[in-house]
Amino acid sequence: MFQKILIANRGEIACRVIRTARRMGIATVAVYSDADVGALHVEMADEAVRLGPASAQESYLSIERILAAAERTGAEAIHPGYGFLSENADFAAAVEAAGIVFIGPQPSSIRAMGLKDAAKALMDQSGVPVVPGYHGEEQNDGFLADQATLIGYPVLIKARAGGGGKGMRRVDSEEEFPEALAAARREAKAAFGDDVVLIERYLVRPRHIEVQIFGDRHGNVVHLFERDCSLQRRHQKVIEEAPAPGMTPEMRLAMGEAAVRAARAISYRGAGTVEFIADVSNGLWPDRFYFMEMNTRLQVEHAVTEAITGVDLVEWQLRVAAGEPLPKKQSELEIYGWAFEARIYAEDAAKGFLPATGTIRHLDFPDVTARIDAGIRPGDTVSAHYDPLIAKMVVHGPSRSVALLRLTRALQSSHIVGVTTNLDFLARLSAQEEFSAGHPDTGLIDRNLQSLTAIEPPVDTVVALAAVLSLGALTQLSDGDPWLTLGHWQLWSEMQRIVVLTYEGGHSTLRVAAKGFDFFAVHDGRRVIPVKIVSRQDDGCRAEVDGRQVQVKASVAAHHLVVSVDHRTHVFHLGNPLDFSAVDVADGNRLIAPMPGFVKIVRTSSGAEVSKGDALVVMEAMKMELTLVAARDGTVEAVEVSEGQQVDEGAVLLTLRVEET
């Protein structure tokens, strides 16, 4: 077994590998960029080496710098994690050429499955069913459009390299095809350096079911059953479960055998996942599933397989890479209970799952019912440089219903303050009727998007509580500025303050009066709501609001207040809702960058006439393209940015001429 390994990754997966290595007595080396100097994976490792600037190209994607770090520290093997260089055959080959063990498949296996068109051709030859479509080399726009027509709409454009939903577009009509093709190519080129695409039939009601496989250097290959990953947004997985609901023994056998055939066809070793898409328009049938792709690495969702099999897949990776045979035969593997994994992201579900950035001020997960795989902690920053995954929440139970109930409760009991997250969305999704009944499919989120992402305006008691908290009620008088903290005494009369809060769905002007120490009366224009601070914690308080006690998590920043109460998180902006800038943006006079990124395409110019919904600017942030559109009809007054320019969140990209009233 290895004495020391280097993890060529960051965040959650780096921490995950370190935990298993530590348990096995293996020393670990972390690598980091300038953005990750104080990151959790750096702190957990036995030693760490700086790679370079925050840019992934100059750090986590630099083969030369990673190899230099391994040689400098004497690491015997390199674990690639997932993402970054994990499926880069040239990296695997360079590691082996340096006399270091690559904890993963051989380069030839990665190459065989790295391009989806070649992989599908190989699978077809090996007797593994593939989705009908065009997987050839001809990439002329007109030719591809003709192929899409022959296949029949709707079709799916997919980048042949990479994954994670990048370079992928669903197209429902011939008219949509040219722009969708151009966008898919741009995104694929930016993410993978390869803009070749394939066209496939889009199954209207499909399920995404994948099989975990494992091979060793001795010719042994097993599968560790299936995972259902059908709940997706932007073609990226959100909640995964194992086993797949409704799976019959016949279909499990057929899928497992197909996955093992796929692995044997490329002499696979290590952990891998064979992904299938199943047509469930008439239920699950052994003759209605098709090969999509093979991921030649450990998957993000591997934890649900670990939960139902009792196997530590990272330990298996290390043992197989060290030359040991697989610890178990196929006949020794069994399914125990049910497991779910929810991916907690820094993103705004109500705004099209737009990635979010910010500093984590508070992080609180249930510590009994769920396994939390995280690479971030309070005080850490979610930046625009990398994927916005905060943590993975994994629950297990004796049955699907019990496990799902535990997932919902764990999500509702979690609190993250400092950055917008998808926690509320995940909690609603886990309780969604179709999903609860065991009928997931890849279109479920889109069909129910409004109900899953709708922002519920805060009730009057929460607004009243927010008004009190915005004035510094969580700060003890002896610790803070007494003029900012409401006390219990003022000469001649009780102390009063006017508070203006804006939030999704409206704004409120409230009068807060201090009736006694930690006791306030809030008048919202309709009634008086009593608020009492019962006790304080570092991240919030216990409060009695209108005669009811609640647990509150809160964070106050310069211009906004985040309050989590009753399993809901609300963001309140502090200030005057009639401020010109707020009206200006609301009226659609300015196009604002929703997050940090760079301007990829500017589709208009000064003086141009635009219509509501027209695409004006295309930004790239967190490896995804964001198309920003006109909020109203009008004339472009000025374009404030140029293509290739880096911009901050809130930057003005262009302005429209103010309409005369």
Which residues are annotated as catalytic?
297
Residues 6+ apart with CB under 8 A from 242: 225, 226, 227, 228, 304, 305, 307, 308, 335, 338, 339
Q: Which residues, at least 6 apart from 581, have a Cβ–Cβ distance to it below 8 Å?
A: none
Distance CA 156, CA 142 (A): 16
Q: How many CB atoms lie within 10 A of CB 528?
A: 12
Q: How far apart are CA 250 and CA 257, in angstroms?
A: 11
Look up tokens 């083969």; give the residue: 63
Q: Are strands 101-102 and 77-79 parallel, antiparallel or unpaired?
A: parallel
Residue of 242, 267, 240 lying closest to 252 (CA atoms) = 242
Cβ neighbours of residue 112 closer than 8 Å, sequence gap 6 or more: 118, 119, 122, 265, 266
DSSP character at residue 223: E
| Type and span of the H or E element at 563 | strand 560-565
Exposure of 162 in the CB half-sphere (CA atoms within 13 A): 26
Question: Residue 468 corresponds to which amino acid?
Answer: V
Q: How far apart are CA 393 and CA 384, in angstroms?
A: 23
Closest C-alpha among 84, 442, 386, 65 to residue 228: 442
The phi and psi torsions of 447 (rounded to 5 degrees) equal: -65, -30
How far is the first Cα of the chain from the last one, in angstroms, to the nearest whole number? 77
- Rounded CA gap, 66 and 81, in Å? 13
CA dihedral 463, 465, 467, 469 (to 10 degrees): -140
Q: Give residue 275's identity as a one-letter amino acid code.
A: E
Distance of alpha carbon 93 from alpha carbon 476, whole angstroms = 60
Residue 585 DSSP SS3: helix
The sign of the CA dihedral 379, 382, 386, 390 is positive
| Contact present, 317 and 212 (Cβ < 8 Å) | no
Q: Measuring CA to CA, which residue among 170, 8, 2 is closest to residue 94?
A: 8
592-610 per-residue burial string, b: 16 or more CB within 10 A, e: under 16: ebbbbbebbbbebeeeeeb
